[in-house]
Amino acid sequence: MNQNEHDRLKRLLQDALPPIETDPEPNRDLWPEMLRKLDERPAAVPWFDWALLGGLVGMAAFFPASIPLLLYYL
Amino acid sequence: MLRVASDGSETLDKFRRGDIDAFETLFRQHQRAVYGWILRIVRDSAAAEDLTIETFWRLHVAHARFDPARGFEAWARRIATHAAFDWLRRRQPESAMPEQFFAELPTSAAANPAVCDEIRRKTALAFGRLPPRLRIAAILAVVEERPQKEVAEALGISVAAVKLRVFRALRLLRKDLQQQGITP
């Protein structure tokens, strides 16, 4: 694609999808909904915490002798 | 666009430590810019509002990983872009450009009078059929004329990758339009 074709497509696209010049305001205040969402959704536990927990449970299941050692470090 | 806030590090530091008041301050400072950024990508005001909330939710969840040295604006832009990408990916291509889009957005002041409404409509629909990752790069870099470095940071890719995505987007768009008998 040469520069002329690029420019023509760009103009066509800007005609079809007019650029949004300035940041528009949302139609409503979003903070109350944000607060509701904060109340509803507890922070997710990171995946590596779950992986660590799974590893510890697996270790305790396959090597029961390690349980006193794990308890010692808790 | 997202601009650098002048109040600086204290609010950001409090936010990083999980202070909800600092989060509200940042939300109120940046919600308009985040909403505008997302609206440019998704072109649907209701979805942009929901995605603005989703973006700030993700920012809140990740507050401990925020690096004040890298700036809140660029971080928010990146997360907003990812949220918008997820939304575009979930949408069916046929509904990627909702009907109200054509009614809601004003025709560009610089619109070419030689380009009829039907061609504009077909172009917008063809653009909506592009893969989301190409569409985002093209809409930000070509339509909105954002600096390629800013687009690259928002997408988490290199400037060269942005150029490649834009090139591929325009090539696919041209092919789609040609199949409809429109020669750009």
- State whether B55 and B75 are in the same domain: yes
Give the CATH number for residue B136: 1.10.10.10
DSSP state of B65: G
Alpha carbon distance B31, B42 (integer Å): 16
Q: Is the pLDDT of residue A66 over 90?
A: no
* C-alpha distance from residue B68 to each of B16, B51, B91 (Å): 8, 23, 34
- State whether B76 and B4 are in the same domain: yes
- State whether B134 and B151 are in the same domain: yes
Give B2: exposed, middle or buried? Use CB within 10 Å, 0-12, 13-18, 19+. buried
Q: Which of A7, A30, A39, A40 to mutate to test the interface with B (most CBs of B within 10 A)?
A: A30
- State whether B135 and B150 are in the same domain: yes
Q: Give the domain-ending residue among B59, B90, B121.
A: B90
What are the pLDDT digits (tens) for A50-62?
A: 898 899 899 888 8
- State whether B102 and B84 are in the same domain: no
Q: Where are the domains of chain A?
A: 47-74
Alpha carbon distance B151, B57 (integer Å): 22
Q: Give the domain-ending residue among B30, B65, B90.
A: B90
Q: Which of A9, A20, A27 sits opposite B184 (nearest CB)?
A: A9
- ipTM of the complex in this document: 0.73
Alpha carbon distance B167, A2 (integer Å): 10
Place of tokens 């909702």: B98
Q: Does B139 touch chain A (CB under 8 A)?
A: yes
Contacts of A52 (CB under 8 A, 6+ apart): none
Compute how many other C-beta atoms are within 10 angstroms of the C-beta atom of residue B56.
26
What are the pLDDT digits (tens) for B77-100?
A: 999 999 999 999 988 655 555 555
Averaged confidence pLDDT in chain B: 85
Compute how many other C-beta atoms are within 10 angstroms of the C-beta atom of residue A30.
21
Q: Which residue has the higher pLDDT, B1 or A62?
A: A62
Q: Taking a contact as any Cβ pair under 8 Å apart, which residues of chain B between 29 and 68 contact chain A?
A: 31-33, 35-37, 39-40, 43, 45, 48-49, 52-53, 56-57, 60-61
Q: Is the pLDDT of residue B69 over 90?
A: no
- State whether B130 and B68 are in the same domain: no
> H-type helices in chain B, by residue range?
9-16, 20-42, 45-61, 72-90, 99-104, 117-128, 132-138, 148-155, 159-179
> Cα B124 to the chain's mean position, in Å?
16
Q: Which of B93, B101, B99 is nearest to B134 (CA)?
A: B93
Q: What range does the domain containing B178 cover?
A: 96-184
Alpha carbon distance B23, B170 (integer Å): 39
**Which two structure tokens, joined as six digits, stand for B34?**
């985040």
- State whether B124 and B43 are in the same domain: no
Q: Is the pLDDT of residue B153 over 90?
A: yes
Contacts of B165 (CB under 8 A, 6+ apart): B133, B134, B137, B138, B157
Give the CATH number for residue B62: 1.10.1740.10
Q: Give the domain-ending residue among B67, B90, B113.
A: B90
- How many Cα neighbours within 13 Å face the side chain of A45? 6
Contacts of A53 (CB under 8 A, 6+ apart): none
**Which two structure tokens, joined as six digits, stand for B150?**
């800013």
- State whether B55 and B102 are in the same domain: no
**Which two structure tokens, joined as six digits, stand for B36?**
């505008």
Check B53 against A20: CB less than 8 A apart.
no
- State whether B36 and B58 are in the same domain: yes
> Average pLDDT in the B25-54 region?
95
The total number of structural domains in chain B stands at 2
**Which pLDDT band holds residue B4 (cuts at 50, 70, 90)?**
very low
